Structure 1
C-alpha cells in the first residue's frame, strides 16, 4: 500500500512539476550558449554525432536566429554548411528556452514529413533538454506526430508550403521557411510568404527564419535579401597580412580567390594544390606570396566580422551591432546573409574537394549551375538573356573533308513535325562530345500523306561517307510529338523500330534532365515516349557554342547552304531567356519571340537520342567506332530492335 502511495505521489509530483515548468525562471542564454550546452547531433543523421559545438562561422548566424531584436532572418546558403542542424538548434532554443511556438514549412508535405523523420525525431532520444519539456517524446500520440510536437509551454507544426490549408488558423510566435527556392510562392491564395508573415502578426517577439539554397535569379530568396535592412557577408583576416576580405571563387583572370597549380598533369594533381590567394597585392609579393591554405580557416573565422556592404554596419557575435565609426547601433530588424561553401569547416578534404568539383565541370552547363548554386551559394544568372548573332555561326562554318569527319563515331537525328512538313537534322558525335551537323532533311506536305512518311523512313535508312572511307548510318532518332500529327509519329516509330525511332515531347516544367525515358511502352499508343528537358538542352547548346573549335563539346557547322544556311543559323540562335512570373516566383524561360526554332529544337532531340543511347543502352563513345555503325546499318530494323532490347 505504501509502495502504491509512493508511486502515485511521484506521478503527482511529476505532473505538478511539468505544469509549473512554464513559470520557471531560466537564466537567459544566447542561442549559441544554449546550443553548446544542450544540443546534440544524433547518430545516423550527422557526419560527426555527439555534442554540438557551434563553429566560428555559425556563431553570429545562430545568435541572430535567436535574437529577439531581429524580426526576419534570411540566409542564402550553400550545401555542406551545417544550416539544417543550425535551424534545428535555433527552433528548439526558441521553444525550450523562450517558450515560442513555431510553424516550420518545407516545400511539400512529403518533404515536411521527411524533415520530421530525418531531423527532428532523431533529436528526441539524445537531447535531455528537449525531453524535459516534451512529456510524450518517446510515444506516438496526438501530441507527437510527424506534423505536430506539443511540448510544455510551446508547440511545433511541421507542414508543407504547397497547400493553402497549411497556412490557415496558424497563429505562432515563430515561422520558419526552409528550402524556399523550391516553394510554390503562390499556391492559389496569394503570396505564401506574406501569408506566412501574417502568422506572427501581434506576437510580442515575432520572428521569421528563412533559408534556402538558390537557383535562378528572381526567386523568393533574392526578393527577401533585397528587402533586408542589412545584408551581411563574412570578412576574415588573411593569416599573413591581416587584410580582411570576403572569400570569393574568382576566375582565371582574378588576382585573388581560389587558385591551383595549372601546370600539373592531371585534374587530381591540380586539385591537391588548392589554395586561396589573398586580395592584398603587397601580401602576394611577400615570402608567403599571399597563399592561404584550408588549415588556417578556423583561426581566420574566429577573428571574422560580418559586414553589411551597403550600410557598413557590422557584428562579430550577432548580438551587438556597430556602425562604421564603431559606435554601437540597434540591431537591424530585417537581416540577410550571403555565404558560400568556401567558409565551410565541414569539408572532408577542405578546398581540395571544391577545386576537384570545379575541374570536373568541363563545360557541362548543368554542373556549372549546380556549382554556382550549391557550392558558391549564388543565384544563377542565365547566360542567354541576349540573342547571339547568327552571323557568328555563319562565320564559323567550315569545310568537312568528308560528309562525316574522321573523329565522329555516332550519329543521331532530331526530328520535328509541322502541319505542312516533316523536318530533321542529323548530328555526329566524337568521343569527347564534339558535335558536327551532318545533314538536314525537309519534306513538304501533309505528314498524313504516305509519300511524306515514306520520305522520312528513307531518310532514316540513309548512310554517309566517313572520312575513313566507310559508310556510316544513323543510330537513333527522336521525333517531336508536340501538337502536330502525333499519330503519324507513333506510326513511324512502329514502322522504323520502337527503340530506333522514338517519339518525344518537351517537358512542361523547368530544370528537368535532358532526357527521361520510361521503362515500358506507353500502352495507349504502343510506343516509348521520351521527355526532353528543353531548357536544359538549350543551356548546354548555347554553352557549347562558346567552346573553341576542336576542344571538347565544341559545335561544328558545315560550309554548305543545303545543310546549314543563313536561315538554319538564325534558328539555332532563335531563343533567349526572358523573365516570367510562375508559381515558384520569377523564372527565366526560353522564348523564341515568334521566330522559327526547328533547328534548335531538333538539336535538342538529337542530344536526347545520344543520351538515350548512353544511359539506356550502354553506349561508350570512347570505345565506339564507325565500323560498329556499318554493321548496325546493314542489319534489318527488326534485328536492330532485338539487339537494343537485349542490351
Structure 2
C-alpha cells in the first residue's frame, strides 16, 4: 500500500473516532456541572455502603433497617439547623457505625475537611486500620476516591485519608497541636469520657474552634456514659434537645419509651411473706405500659421496626414549664378507652416526613416549637438492639449477676441502659449508722474469710494498720486496727510493724491465717524508710505504695495493669495505686450494700465511733475545669482520715494479689470445705481477747 493511501486510512480512522471522544468529553463536562444528588445519610448507606468481613460479624450490603434506632442520629447529620450531634448510647449499638458512615457520605457526596478524634493517638491508628480502611476497601465508591491501604503517598496514611475536595484526619485527644493544626468543617469525637485535659484545654473545645470559617459545620460527640454529674457525654446530651426513642406496641399501638427497669419483668418465686426466693430471667419480656401485654422476641423485633425519635427536653413557653414526656403520658391517660391509633401528635409534630425523622416538641398552648434543634442529642439502651445477645432475658441475667455489686451496677447502667450511673448521695451515711451494725464473731477470723491483707498509713510519729479479711465476691471483715506509736525514722518502730505483719490469726476451728499482702503508704516525710522496709520484704508481698496524682478527677486502676518491672532492687520504686477509684468503691459499698453478701463490709463491735468518722470523713466534690466536670475526694481541713486510707491500701493489696493470679472466690470456697486443726477450738476465745486488747501503755501499740 502506498504511503498516500496509508495516510488517508489513518485520517479516516481518526475521523470515525472523533465523535465518540467528543461525546465522552461532553458527558464529563455535564457531570462536572451537575450538582451531587440530595440524599440523606441512611439512604446513602443503603445504596452505596458495603460491610467488610473483618469489621464485624456481618458483611455485604448495608441495611439501616437492621438497626432501625440508628436512623434518627444518621438523619440528623443532614437535618437543617443541626450543628452539634450527641449520641449517648449503650455499647455496641450505633456509635461507630455513625462515625464511619459520616466519613463515607461526605467523602463521596459532599467532600469537606474532617477531623476524627480518639482518646489517644494509638486508638486513632487502631480505628483507622480496623474500621476506616476496611470500609474503604469494601465500598466501591470510596475505594475509587480514597485509594488503597497499599499506597504510601501523602494522600493515604494511617492518620490522613485524602480525597478530592477534602480529607479525613485522625488524632489523639492528648495532642493539642494536631487538634489545632488545620481548619475543618466536621469534627467527630469518639469515647469522649476518656479524654484527658491537655495543657491548652479541652479537646472538644480545641477541635470545634477549627470550624470558624465554615457555615455548615457539624460537631459529633459519641460515647457511652459514666457517672452522673461527671460524664462529659451526659453534659453534652443534656445541653441538646434530648431525643429519646419510642416503639409502638404490636398489640395496642401505644408508644413506649422502653427502659429496662420500667418495662422488663420476669417470673419470680415468692415465699409466704412475699419475699423473692428465686428468679427466672429466661422468662423476661418487655411489657407494654398501656395494655400490659408481654412481647415475645418476635413481637419485640416487630416493635423495633417502628422506632421513632422525639425531642423530650423540658422547656418554658407561654409562662408555663412543660415536660413533653409528662404531657404525652397525661394525654394518653385522659383518652381512656377512646384512644386514637397514634396519640403521639398530642405532644409532638412529625417534622418533614421521613427526610428528617424527628417528632419536635411543641407548646400545648400556642403550638410553637420552643426547643431549638441546633444541638440534636440522642440516648438509647440495648432494648433497642435487634441482636439475640441483647434480648431481655440476657439483660435480666446480667442485671441479676451485677445488682449486688455497686461497681457492676455502674457497668450495667453504662453499657446496657446507655444512661449515666447515679451514685448514692451519702447524705444519710452517718458514723452512728455504721457503728450500729457492728458485730462480734468467734475467734480472730470469722467463717467466710479466705485471706488477710493489711493497709498501712505512715505518719511522722506513728504507723496505723488495718487487718482486713476478704471473702467471696470481696465481702470483707475489719479484723483489727493497730496504732504503733513512735518515731517512724527509727529501726525500732519498723521492727514492731514487722512483728504485726508476721502475726498468725486463727479461726474458731483452729484454722491458721497469715497476712498475704500489705500496702504501706510511702508518702509524707518517711519515703526512704518505707522503701527500705518494703524492699527487704518483697518476697512476702509487702509493697510500698503511693497514690496516683488525680487532681483532675481521673480514675486510674486501683492496681496498675502494666506488667511487673524487671528493675533491680537498687532501683526500687513504689507501686502507684488509683486512690480515687478505690474510694469510689469503698464509699459505694458503705452506702448501697446494706446486707451481708458481695461487697458488704463487716465491722467488729470493739471499734470506736471516731474510727467510723474517719472512714466516712471525705466528701465527693464536683469541680469544673476547662468545661470538664469531674469529682475528687477531699478531706475537710483539720479532720483525720487514717481509717479510710488504711482501708484503701488494704483493698489495693487485695487487688495486687488478684493482679498476680489470686482467685479469691476459689480460695474462699476451698477453705470453707476443708478443716485444718492447728490449734484446739477452746483456745479461740482467749485469742480473740488478746486480739482486741489495748497495750499502748507499755509498747505503744493500741488494738481496736
The TM-score, its normalising length taken from structure 1, stands at: 0.85
Q: Go from structure 1 to structure 2 and tell me whether the alpha carbon gap of 1:344 and 1:22 turns closer, same or farther (over 3 Å shift).
A: farther
**Structure 2 residue aligned with 1:205, among 188, 195, 216?**
216
Structure 1 spans left out of the alignment, 5+ residues: 251-255, 285-289, 632-647
**Greater CA drift, 323-332 or 29-38:** 323-332
Are residues 137 and 399 of structure 1, via their aligned partners in 2, closer, same or farther at CA, if it must alter by over 3 Å?
A: closer
CA apart distance, 1:58: 1.4
**Which residue of 2 is the match for residue 413 of structure 1?**
454
Question: 549, 555, 567: which one pairs with 1:511?
Answer: 555
How far does residue 136 in structure 1 lie from its aligned partner after superposition? 5.9
Per-residue Cα deviation, 1:248-288 (whole angstroms, up to 9, x for no partner): 122xxxxx3222223399999833222123222xx23xxxx
Deviations for 1:197-224, whole angstroms, at most 9, x for unmatched residues? 3322342422222212222323332332
Deviation string 1:116-173 (CA, Å, 9 cap, x unpaired) is 1111111122111113433567622111111222212222222222222123342232
Is 1:243 the counterpart of 2:286? The answer is: no
Question: Does 2:146 align with 1:146?
Answer: no
Distance 2:76 2:528 in 1: 60
Aligned to 1:42: 52
Determine if contact 1:412/1:610 at 8 Å carries over to the other structure. yes
- The answer to whether 1:299 aligns with 2:299 is no
More displaced, 515-524 or 419-428?
515-524
Aligned position for 1:622: 669
**Rounded Cα–Cα distance in structure 2 between residues aligned with 1:531 and 1:520:** 13
The answer to whether the Cα contact below 8 Å between 1:267 and 1:359 also exists between their aligned partners in 2 is no
Contact 2:382 2:390 in 1 (8 A): no
The residue aligned with 1:590 is: 633
Distance in 2 of aligned mates of 1:519 and 1:267? 45
Alpha-carbon distance in 1 for matches of 2:223, 2:25: 40
Q: CA deviation at 1:103?
A: 1.8
- Mapped pair 1:390 → 2:431: yes
Does the 8 Å CA contact 2:534/2:543 hold for their aligned counterparts? yes
1:393-448 Cα deviation digits (max 9, x unpaired): 11111222222223323222111111111110111223453311111111112111
- Look up the match of 1:319: 356
Shift of 1:325: 8.0
Contact 1:320–1:328, Cα closer than 8 Å, also in 2: no
Aligned to 2:593: 547
Match for 1:121 among 124, 127, 133? 133
| Aligned-residue offset at 1:464 | 2.8
CA distance in 2, matches of 1:304, 1:596: 54
Unaligned runs of 5+ in 2: 1-9, 15-19, 316-323, 325-347, 680-704
Q: CA deviation at 1:244?
A: 1.3
| Structure 1 position 580 matched with structure 2 position 592 | no
Cα deviation code 1:469-504 (max 9, x no counterpart): 344332222211122412222222244453332222
CA distance in 2, matches of 1:417, 1:522: 25
Q: Distance in 2 between matches of 1:345 and 1:232?
A: 20
- Cα 1:466–1:128, aligned 2, differ >3 Å: closer, same or farther? same
Say yes or no: does 1:278 pair with 2:288: yes
Give the aligned partner of residue 538 of structure 1: 583
In structure 2, distance between residues paired with 1:87 and 1:220? 18
Which of structures 1 and 2 has the bigger CA Rg? 2
Whether the 8 Å contact between 1:384 and 1:577 is mirrored in structure 2 is: no
Contact 1:472 1:629 in 2 (8 A): no
- Separation in 2 of the partners of 1:526 and 1:103? 43
1:261 aligned partner = 267
Contact 2:466 2:647 in 1 (8 A): yes
Q: What is the deviation of 1:233? A: 0.3
> Paired residue for 2:311, among 283, 308, 311?
308
SS in 2 for 1:104: strand
SS in 2 for 1:515: coil
1:335 aligns with 2:376: yes
1:187 alignment partner in structure 2: 198
3-state secondary structure, aligned to 2:244: strand
State how 1:23-102 maps to structure 2 within 5 Å.
23-54=33-64, 55-102=67-114
Aligned to 2:644: 600
Deviation at 1:81, TM superposition (A): 0.4
SS of equivalent to 1:363: coil
| Aligned mates of 2:135, 2:278 — CA distance in 1 | 38
Measured at CA, do residues 19 and 495 of structure 1 come closer, stay the same or move farther in structure 2, by a change above 3 Å?
farther
| TM superposition shift of 1:390 | 0.5
Establish whether residue 610 from structure 1 lines up as the match of residue 654 from structure 2.
yes
- C-alpha offsets along residues 208-246 of structure 1, whole Å, 9 cap, x if unaligned? 222122223233323322332x22100112222222121
Report SS of the residue matched to 1:404. Answer: coil
CA 1:623–1:475 in 2, change beyond 3 Å: closer, same or farther? same
Task: For residue 88 of structure 1, report the CA deviation from its aligned partner.
Answer: 0.9
Is the deviation greater in 345-354 or in 520-529? 520-529
State how many pairs are aligned.
610
1:22, distance to aligned residue in structure 2 (A): 5.5
CA distance in 1 between partners of 2:481 and 2:530 (Å)? 18
Structure 1 residues 521 and 93: alpha-carbon distance in aligned structure 2, compared to 1, 3 A threshold: closer
Deviations 1:352-375 (A, max 9, x none): 322222222153333221221222
Alignment of 1:227-238 (within 5 A): 227-228=239-240, 230-238=241-249
Residues 1:536 and 1:135: Cα distance change in structure 2 (over 3 Å)? closer
Q: Post-superposition shift, 1:76?
A: 1.0
Q: In 2, distance between residues paired with 1:86 and 1:575?
A: 42
Mapped contact 2:559–2:659 kept (Cα < 8 A): no
Q: Distance in 2 between matches of 1:384 and 1:548?
A: 15
Aligned partner of 2:225 in structure 1 is: 214
CA separation of 1:555 and 1:22: change in aligned 2, threshold 3 A: farther
- The question of 1:556 aligning with 2:602 is answered yes
Q: Which moved more, 1:365-374 or 1:303-312?
A: 303-312
Query: Is the contact between residue 71 and residue 333 of structure 1 (CA under 8 Å) also seen in structure 2?
Result: yes
Any idea what SS the aligned residue of 1:502 has? strand
**Who is 1:637 aligned against?**
none
Structure 1 residue aligned with 2:190: 178
Cα shift at 1:180: 1.6
Deviates more, 1:503-512 or 1:622-631: 622-631
Alpha-carbon separation, structure 2, partners of 1:111 and 1:584: 23
CA contact (8 A) 1:475 1:629 kept: no
After superposing the two structures, state which structure 1 stretch, 237-246 or 513-522, moved more. Answer: 513-522
Match of 1:365 in 2: 406
Q: Distance in 2 between matches of 1:486 and 1:15?
A: 80
For 1:56 and 1:45, locate their aligned partners in 2 and report how far apart those are by CA, in whole Å. 20
Aligned to 2:700: none
Pick which of 84-93 and 131-140 moved more.
131-140
